[in-house]
Each structure stands twice: as C-alpha cells, then as structure tokens.
Amino acid sequence: MANITPGQFVRQVRQETSKVTWPSRKETSISTAMVFVMVFLTAIFFFVVDFMISQFVRLIFGLGA
C-alpha cells in the first residue's frame, strides 16, 4: 500500500469531488417525490396482501370451529 501524506490525500479528495456532477434542485425534488409515491404504493400493496392473507387464515381456522 502506498504511503500518502495528508496533503496528497486532501488534494486527491478535492480532485475527485470536482468530478462529481451534482443533481439540480429540480432533479432532487422530482426524485424525492417519486420516492414518496413509491413508498405509498408499496405500503398499499403490502396492506392489501396482508389483508388477503389474514382473511384466508381466518377462513381456514374458521372451518375447523
């Protein structure tokens, strides 16, 4: 492993961060909105699946009573 001085490390970090393309405010807000929409849709999906499974289990256990 190469020995790197703290000064070289800081220069390399600055070099690499200058290569990063940061998203615009619009891109960030659209991505955030999409995340919220997907979380909401996923929550609804799992709610429906959980409800269907619980009804099926109640039906199975209700047949034996």
Question: pLDDT tens per residue, the chain (65 residues)?
Answer: 678 899 999 999 999 999 999 899 999 999 999 999 999 999 999 999 999 999 999 998 887 55
The reply to whether 13 falls in a domain is: no
The reply to whether 9 falls in a domain is: no
**Element at 2 (helix H, strand E):** none
Sign of CA dihedral 19, 24, 30, 36: positive
How far CA 49 is from CA of 38, 53, 61, in Å, comes to 16, 6, 18
pTM over cut 0.75: no
Domain that holds residue 54: 29-65
The reply to whether 54 falls in a domain is: yes
**What is the model's pLDDT at position 2?**
74
**What is the model's pLDDT at position 62?**
85
Backbone angle region of 53, left / alpha / beta, with phi > 0 → left and psi within -120 to 50 → alpha: alpha
Domain count of the chain? 1
Tell me the HSE value of 56 on the side-chain side, using a 13 A CA sphere. 6
